Homo-oligomer: A and B are copies of this chain.
């Protein structure tokens, strides 16, 4: 296995969306369970992306999609919020803290590999998150560049093309088996990062028996990739 470049999923894999979004609900005084609202918001994510990929909804970036799904969440919970608060909540996704190992882990991985994000979030959102968490990549790659959302194969293959590597030389690092399966279907390598707290304490443990590697964090990934096979 020759891995020349690494692409990283961002939400859940590198940054803790649940704590950050829950805090934003609390700070805005919306509802009485920030985590439950964050979960309800996140769970609407695959559905609206599928609408775009299937042509049932026009291309829109995460800010626009988050506003649509936020309104659905608020309505479902019998809550409402003024426009400035709705936009403040959408903006919270730009200021999420990274997991504790992410910054140093990315630095270690960049020593031997070309690195990039490969997120469904748009470029500006990724730039804001990378600045907020001081996360360094060689470049940011986003579904926005390819006009389709993961797990569409053109996103993964497009990333390999822009990085100048063969799909089989590119590894997706992600905490979600559906994303890793999409990467493999496009010919990429895959590494599962366990993020047991992504969905809060006591969540079901994720496994992906088809992943090339399963690691607890990014420093472990750096160590495993440095080791001769």
Does A163 lie at the interface of the complex (its beta carbon under 8 Å from any beta carbon of B)? yes
In the bound complex, do residue A130 and residue B138 qualify as a contact, i.e. CB atoms below 8 Å apart? yes
- Interface with B: A6-14, A139-147, A193-201, which one? A139-147
Report how many copies the assembly holds.
2
Nearest B residue (CB) for A94: B164
- Interface hits, A118-132 → B, CB 8 Å: 122-124, 126-127, 130-131
Does A44 lie at the interface of the complex (its beta carbon under 8 Å from any beta carbon of B)? no
In the bound complex, do residue B140 and residue A139 qualify as a contact, i.e. CB atoms below 8 Å apart? yes
Residues of B within 8 A of A138 (CB): 127, 130-131, 140
Does A114 lie at the interface of the complex (its beta carbon under 8 Å from any beta carbon of B)? yes
In the bound complex, do residue A139 and residue B136 qualify as a contact, i.e. CB atoms below 8 Å apart? no
Residues of B within 8 A of A130 (CB): 138
**Complex Cα–Cα for A123 and B139 (A):** 8
Does A162 lie at the interface of the complex (its beta carbon under 8 Å from any beta carbon of B)? yes
**Complex Cα–Cα for A140 and B164 (A):** 14
Majority secondary structure of chain A interface residues (helix, strand, loop or mixed): helix
- In this complex, the member of A114, A145, A163, A164 whose beta carbon has the largest number of chain B beta carbons within 10 angstroms is A164
Given A136-B136, A139-B139, A140-B139, is A163 in contact with B127 using a C-beta cutoff of 8 Å?
yes
Q: A124-B164, A130-B138 are in contact. List 17 more A-B contacts (CB 8 A).
A: A114-B127, A114-B131, A122-B162, A122-B164, A123-B139, A123-B162, A123-B163, A126-B139, A127-B138, A127-B139, A131-B138, A136-B136, A139-B139, A139-B140, A144-B162, A145-B145, A145-B162
Please list the residues of chain A having a beta carbon within 8 angstroms of any beta carbon in chain B.
114, 122-124, 126-127, 130-131, 136, 138-140, 144-145, 162-164
A-B CB proximity, top 7 nearest: A124-B164, A139-B140, A123-B162, A127-B138, A139-B139, A127-B139, A124-B163
